[in-house]
Amino acid sequence: MRAKKNIAIVGFMACGKTTVGREVARLIGYRFIDTDREVERAVASPLTALFHAAGESGFRQAEARILARILSGGKQVIACGGGVVEIPDSVAKLKAKATTVWLKVSLDDARARLEGEGGRPLYAQMTPDEFAALYERRQKMYEFADVHIDTAGLDLVRVVQLVLHTLY
């Protein structure tokens, strides 16, 4: 498969989108963009404050606007927020303007990576059952991706190798 002009990394919280995306971008000479950081920059506020002030729906609206702007460019690796799939228009834009890579993570691995980590407002406000329900619902939503990579038991180097091998 040949990658489109942009590569978008999607997946659930703590699957490694930012870490993998940054390394893929470095290796292929593309610009790296993290949509969460771009939203923070656009609203001049941390995500936790935006979630508190505008709720998840307000955050998703801001994310959709930022993603549309980002996707107008090229030669970018984009680490998308885990909930980007909640907005159908964002998914349609990703399908049209990027090769999408889904980094699969197990529910247990996601929980383990998030424990003790700050700055995840959605996770912080959920019960374990709500988190599991969100995980299950979103798994179906990520299936649109062009490439699916199961990260279980793999280190960063191996995941990046799989991404590059699949795309090039």
- How many domains, the chain? 1
Q: What is the pLDDT of residue 40?
A: 86
Could you tell me if residue 1 is inside a domain?
Answer: no
Q: What is the pLDDT of residue 124?
A: 72
Q: What is the pLDDT of residue 18?
A: 96
Q: What is the pLDDT of residue 45?
A: 77
Q: What is the pLDDT of residue 168?
A: 87
Q: Which residues of the chain have pLDDT under 50?
A: none
Could you tell me if residue 12 is inside a domain?
Answer: yes
Q: What is the pLDDT of residue 91?
A: 97
Query: Domain containing 72: what range?
Result: 6-167
**pTM for this one?**
0.91
Could you tell me if residue 44 is inside a domain?
Answer: yes
Could you tell me if residue 113 is inside a domain?
Answer: yes
Could you tell me if residue 116 is inside a domain?
Answer: yes
Q: What is the CATH number of the domain that holds 149?
A: 3.40.50.300
Q: What is the pLDDT of residue 43?
A: 81
3-state secondary structure the chain: CCCCCEEEEECCCCCCHHHHHHHHHHHHCCEEEEHHHHHHHHHCCCHHHHHHHHHHHHHHHHHHHHHHHHCCCCCEEEECCCCHHHCHHHHHHHHHHCEEEEEECCHHHHHHHHCCCCCCHHHHCCCHHHHHHHHHHHHHHHHHCCEEEECCCCCHHHHHHHHHHHHC
Could you tell me if residue 53 is inside a domain?
Answer: yes
